[in-house]
Amino acid sequence: MTKLFAVEVGRRVRTLRRLYGLSLSELAHRAAIGKATLSGLETGTRNPTLETLYAISAQLDVPLAVLLADPDPPEHPVEIHGAAVSATLLETFDDDDVASELYRIRIRPGIVQVSPPHQPGVTEHVTVFSGSARVGPAAQPVLVTAGSHAQWPADVPHVYAADNGVEVHALLTIHHPSGEAAAPVGRSVALLAERGPA
């Protein structure tokens, strides 16, 4: 993650936190992260993990892409790393009834990454290009082999793991129903861009 990108992600988190009327301490508590971690993220002095950004976006009731999407995407998108998953936001789509995020992901072997629940009604879809992945609800993950696809409700804890000791390469699409409290991705990003530095 570049310094400029980290500063922009931090600005977005701070802007949304203030829009929701949350103190730094309250958002840190709700997201189950340290106050120093959140403060460092907001000032751009800390590079957030994928898990940290998911925890924050869930508490702000916005899709992860709202924190990551750039209204003028760079030529080389930034990859965010988690315990097992590295993700690169490729595109966001706003349709009448659904907002979607498209990520290129890599799942490293030897670690299971647990993601917190998204907002009600959110679904995830994975298409595996190489390797084999165990993904889906933490209580019942499914095996997805190269050339296969799986989808699941993502409003429960869900997991990502490489199944056979080989790194997995895949696409992840996250669909958010329009009934969510959060504005669709594109409108949320535009709002943040209009607000400028916070």
Q: 0.95 exceeded by the pTM?
A: no
Helix or strand (DSSP H, E) at 38: helix 35-43
Residues 111 and 68 in one domain: no
- Greater confidence, 105 or 187? 105
Q: What is the pLDDT of residue 35?
A: 94
> CATH no. for residue 12?
1.10.260.40
Q: What is the pLDDT of residue 168?
A: 98
The answer to whether the beta carbons of residues 142 and 149 sit under 8 Å apart is no
pLDDT at 29 over 60: yes
Residues 186 and 173 in one domain: no
Tally of structural domains, the chain: 2
Average pLDDT, the chain: 86
Q: Which residue in this structure is represented by tokens 């933490």?
A: 138
Q: Which residue in this structure is represented by tokens 């990502």?
A: 160
> CATH no. for residue 102?
2.60.120.10
Beta carbons within 10 angstroms of residue 180's beta carbon: 18
| Alpha-carbon span 154 to 169, nearest angstrom | 20
Residues 66 and 153 in one domain: no
Residues 66 and 89 in one domain: no
Residues 83 and 173 in one domain: yes
Domain coverage including residue 64: 3-74+182-195
| Alpha-carbon span 107 to 95, nearest angstrom | 29
Residues 44 and 85 in one domain: no
Residues 49 and 122 in one domain: no
Q: What is the pLDDT of residue 180?
A: 45
Residues 37 and 23 in one domain: yes
Please name the residues in contact with 4: beta carbons below 8 A apart, sequence gap of 6 or more: none
Helix or strand (DSSP H, E) at 159: strand 158-162
| Alpha-carbon span 134 to 154, nearest angstrom | 14
Residues 122 and 57 in one domain: no
CA distances from 184 to 21, 77, 92, 130, 163 (A): 20, 21, 9, 31, 34
* pLDDT tens, residue by residue, 117-164: 888 899 999 999 999 999 999 999 999 999 999 999 999 999 999 998
> Is residue 83 classed as helix, strand or coil in its secondary structure?
coil
- The closest alpha carbon to 184, from 79, 11, 78, 61, belongs to 61
Six-digit token string for 2: 């570049």
Residues 83 and 140 in one domain: yes
Strands in 34-84 per DSSP E? 79-81
What is the pLDDT confidence band of residue 182, given thresholds at 50, 70 and 90? very low
Q: What is the pLDDT of residue 95?
A: 82
Mean pLDDT for 170-184 is: 73
What is the pLDDT confidence band of residue 49, given thresholds at 50, 70 and 90? confident
Residues 65 and 105 in one domain: no
Residues 26 and 60 in one domain: yes
